[in-house]
């Protein structure tokens, strides 16, 4: 025997649906009032201008209408929209009205009321864009026996700053966020952020950059047979140095030192200083490539010998 509940099931379901439809129709025909907090958006600003002062991010509005009319705004994006095609440099006060309420799929005859704020002070300034260099706030502490070779390399090494003229004009550089790389034993490549810009509506493009730090093992290397040039020889005098070359011991990054040769060094001795001594001995001046330290040189003194 079938259960009575499934007897005439289709008729029962149909009756239930009709009842639900009638109930929904009756409920949604009633008048309702709702308060909503909605975002405030300023759009259509002329391309040569930019908003230069903060405004409230949200507004409180009241919507009135039949239930049917409030269904769409309940599920749609509602905002307070100011299309500032009329903007000009300076401050303009506007009164907010129901015409500024924007519902994604329309409101029909829905009534809107602005509760707060009821007025907005909009300040506009000329839009300024310029490129400025990046400055570092990164601290580096290689591990014992290692050394940083060369400065930090930023890619890109400059960024575009955009925003109101009154803020951007005084910006001559941007700075990375603080970072500390201690105990490093190998090269570092990391994505670093830039410090938040001062001033409203100022942006960096990009707002993150790559920092490349070359860390190498600290080693010593001796480079032999580096020629020594005798300088400031008086006209009509022939002279040369004995010996004519020097061996230089330097310390620095392993990979960097291995790339150096005698041609990367400039060594000279001043003829005039030889007359300050009875033995005609002088020392040499060694100009080193960047990122190396002199730890020794042989010989220490050179003899000025007459004749070519």
Asked whether this chain's domains 127-213 and 219-306 adopt the same fold, the reply is yes
- Whether the link from the prior residue into 156 is cis, omega within 30° of 0, is yes
CA dihedral 158, 196, 189, 219 (to 10 degrees): 90
For residues 48 and 28, give the distance between their C-alpha atoms in angstroms, rounded to a whole number: 47
Count CA atoms within 13 Å of residue 226 on its CB side: 26
Q: Name the residue ranges covered by the structural domains of the chain.
A: 27-117, 127-213, 219-306
* Residue of 17, 106, 96 lying closest to 58 (CA atoms): 96
Which helix (H) or strand (E) segment holds residue 71: the answer is helix 67-75
CATH number for the domain formed by residue range(s) 127-213 = 2.170.120.40
Q: Residue 5: its pLDDT value, please?
A: 52
The values of phi and psi at residue 31, to 5°, are: -85, 135
pLDDT tens for the chain, residues 1 to 308: 455 555 555 554 555 556 554 444 444 445 657 788 999 999 999 999 999 999 999 999 887 766 444 455 554 678 899 999 999 999 999 999 989 988 765 545 667 889 999 999 999 999 999 999 999 999 999 999 999 999 999 999 999 999 999 999 999 999 999 999 999 999 999 999 999 998 999 999 999 999 999 999 999 999 999 999 999 999 888 999 999 999 999 999 999 999 999 999 999 999 988 877 788 899 999 999 999 999 999 999 999 998 76
Other beta carbons less than 10 A from residue 190's beta carbon:
12
Which CATH number is correct for 219-306, 3.40.640.10, 3.30.420.40, 2.170.120.30, 2.160.10.10? 2.170.120.30
Q: Residue 307: its pLDDT value, please?
A: 79
For residues 279 and 171, give the distance between their C-alpha atoms in angstroms, rounded to a whole number: 61
The values of phi and psi at residue 190, to 5°, are: -140, 150
Other beta carbons less than 10 A from residue 223's beta carbon:
17
* Residue of 200, 197, 205 lying closest to 125 (CA atoms): 200
- The set of residues, in sequence order, having a beta carbon less than 8 Å from that of 257 and lying 6+ positions away, is 219, 221, 250, 251, 292
For residues 251 and 264, give the distance between their C-alpha atoms in angstroms, rounded to a whole number: 15
């Amino acid at each position: 025997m079938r259960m009575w509940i499934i007897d005439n099931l289709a008729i029962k379901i149909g009756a239930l649906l009709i009842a639900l439809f009638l109930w929904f129709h009756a409920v949604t025909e009633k008048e309702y009032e709702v308060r909503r907090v909605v975002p405030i958006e300023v759009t259509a600003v002329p391309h040569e201008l930019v908003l230069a002062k903060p405004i409230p991010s949200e507004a409180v509005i009241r919507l009135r209408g039949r239930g049917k009319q409030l269904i769409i705004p309940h599920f749609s994006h509602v905002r307070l929209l100011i299309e500032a095609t009329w903007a000009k440099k300076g401050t303009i006060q506007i009164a907010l009205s129901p015409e500024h309420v924007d519902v994604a799929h329309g409101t029909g005859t829905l009534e809107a009321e602005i509760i707060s704020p009821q007025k907005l002070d909009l300040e506009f300034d000329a839009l300024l864009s310029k490129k400025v260099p990046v400055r570092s706030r990164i601290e580096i502490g290689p591990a014992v026996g290692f050394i940083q070779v060369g400065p930090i390399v930023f890619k890109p090494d400059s960024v575009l700053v955009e925003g109101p003229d009154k803020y951007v004009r005084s910006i001559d550089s941007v700075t990375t966020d603080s970072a500390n790389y201690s105990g490093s034993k190998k090269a570092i490549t990391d994505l670093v952020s830039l410090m938040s810009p001062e001033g409203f509506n100022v942006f960096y493009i990009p707002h993150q950059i790559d920092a490349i730090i070359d860390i190498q093992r600290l080693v010593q290397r001796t480079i032999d047979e580096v020629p020594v040039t005798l300088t400031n020889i008086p006209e009509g005098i022939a002279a040369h140095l004995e010996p004519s070359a020097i061996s230089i011991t330097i310390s620095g990054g392993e990979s960097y030192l291995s790339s150096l040769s005698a041609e990367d060094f400039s060594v000279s001795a001043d003829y005039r200083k030889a007359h300050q001594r009875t033995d005609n001995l002088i020392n040499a001046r060694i100009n080193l490539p960047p990122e190396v330290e002199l730890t020794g040189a042989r010989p220490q003194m050179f003899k000025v010998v007459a004749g070519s």
